[in-house]
Amino acid sequence: MSPGRPAEYAGGYTGSASDLAVDDAAIDVMITQYGDRVRRLPPVALVIAAYNEEGAVGTVVGNLPAQVCGLDTATIVVADGCADATAKEADAAGALVADVPVNRGQGAALRLGYRIARDGGAQYIVTTDADGQYNPAEIGGMLALVVAGKADFVTGSRRLGSAESKDPIRQAGVRFFAAAISLLTGQKISDTTFGLRAMRAEVTGAVQLSQPQYQASELLIGVIIHGYKVAEVPATIHRRRVGESKKGQNPFYHLHIPGVNNLFYGLRFSRVVFGTWWRERQRRSGRTSPSPRSARLGTAGTAGSGGSAAMANGSASSGGASAAALDEVMGGADSRGAESRGGFRSAKRM
């Protein structure tokens, strides 16, 4: 495989060979450091992407439950090119840490975390943030829906629950993007960016994930279009107590000009939302030619199953995809999961 060329591995990710090499190297170091702790994960993997969260991530990891729904958990922290002691702090708190030397974005970090979870044999994945804004006590209620088979993917919603921040620009953005994705997918959604989520591990292996940043909408749009059962439940988001938000970084980020960081965040998030929708629309229609956006990302559309998932507060119903199409999606994901349980696979062997 020549450097810089697009490459693929389980999980639907299309990216450069150099990007995958970074993932492989991080996993190799983890295996050397943790051995069977990372090769044979318990049923639930708690995945956190962290960037310069020293002073916060240790408390977050320490507060996560050792068991959820009667199932053992392991915490995976992907330290995404941190310039501080985030990796050491997370490790000292008991997490399995993938210390990536280059900052690539939250999307890339979560994608690596998903891969580690799947290849380690985890059945379920729960994501949360490293800044302590989410309530770990709410994890059990989310995962219970997945374990019971009532949903494949569960996301929290601050609009159905509560948010300590009353930033009017942020609130308007949450409403706007919820309305946009609801309109594009035909599925009513109230909060598209909530970071506390629970899902079956194979969901992350069936949906194409290529965004280095702002992956929340990409994953959500993908699971809806693939016909997975999706649920949205009331949840809480607290104010950040330590450090500062990394969202909306731009040339003027550290000047803290009111509204500017939110503007940059909104513009970039919009690009991801509409780019992902276009790509998945092409895949659903069976077209193989890349969209203008996917061409720039080095991706190409492939046929995918249609349909949408139905959401309700704390409940879920099956999507509009036909049973045959859904079985095809699930079967592909399950086969990848079976291979993953056999051990870690390197993209360098592709």
How many Å apart are CA 87 and CA 125, to the nearest integer?
20
CB 91 within 8 A of CB 62: no
* Calculated CA dihedral for residues 42, 45, 118, 40, nearest 10 degrees: -30
Of the pLDDT bands very low, low, confident and very high (cuts 50, 70, 90), residue 345 is low
How many Å apart are CA 212 and CA 107, to the nearest integer?
4
CB 177 within 8 A of CB 217: yes
State pLDDT tens for residues 322-342. Answer: 333 333 433 443 433 343 344
CB 280 within 8 A of CB 221: yes
Q: Where along the chain do its domains lie? A: 6-343
How many Å apart are CA 124 and CA 126, to the nearest integer?
7
Residues whose CB falls within 8 Å of the CB of residue 262, separated by 6 or more in sequence, listed in order: 167, 169, 170, 173, 248
Look up the CATH number of domain 6-343. 3.90.550.10
Pairing type for strands 71-80 and 6-9 reads unpaired
- CB neighbourhood size of 192 (10 A): 23
Residues pairing with 310 in the sheet: 317
Q: What percent of the chain has pLDDT over 70?
A: 69
State pLDDT tens for residues 185-212. Answer: 888 889 988 999 999 999 998 888 888 8
